[in-house]
Amino acid sequence: MSGQETAREFTAQMSVRDGRWRLYVVLLGTTEWWPEFAFGRRRSVPTLTERSRALSVLGFEPVAGGEWAWSEDSETHDDPATAVILIAAIRVRSRAEVGA
């Protein structure tokens, strides 16, 4: 990558399934496998440090000024009585492209 090109940005999301948190990078517009990191414990939300380490393991880092944003969804689409699912998201870029 030349010095004038910028790293491609993606969205990293974190959600809980079966009581365990997982973080994955959504690679829309590619045919690549979505990198995923599973946190090995149940219940508690991973800390900012744990999330940064997980992104690093996957080869990504938050974009400058990036912050985690939380949203909620329902377990069953269009059913307001179903359990709420929390999803966190942040914009990231590939670390490999940053220094290239």
pLDDT per residue as tens digits for the range 43-65: 689 999 999 999 999 999 999 99
Cβ pair 14, 38 in contact under 8 A: no
pTM: 0.80
| Structure tokens given for 2 | 């030349």
Query: What pLDDT, on a 0 to 100 scale, did the predictor assign at position 19?
Result: 82
The pLDDT of 7-29, averaged and rounded, is 89
Residue owning tokens 């990231």: 92
Q: pLDDT class for 6, splitting at 50, 70, 90?
A: low
| Structure tokens given for 23 | 């973080």
- Domain coordinates in residue numbering, the chain: 9-98
Query: What pLDDT, on a 0 to 100 scale, did the predictor assign at position 95?
Result: 79
Query: Cα separation of 35 and 33, whole Å?
Result: 6
Query: Cα separation of 84 and 33, whole Å?
Result: 27
- Residue 79: what are its φ and ψ, rounded to 5°? -120, 95
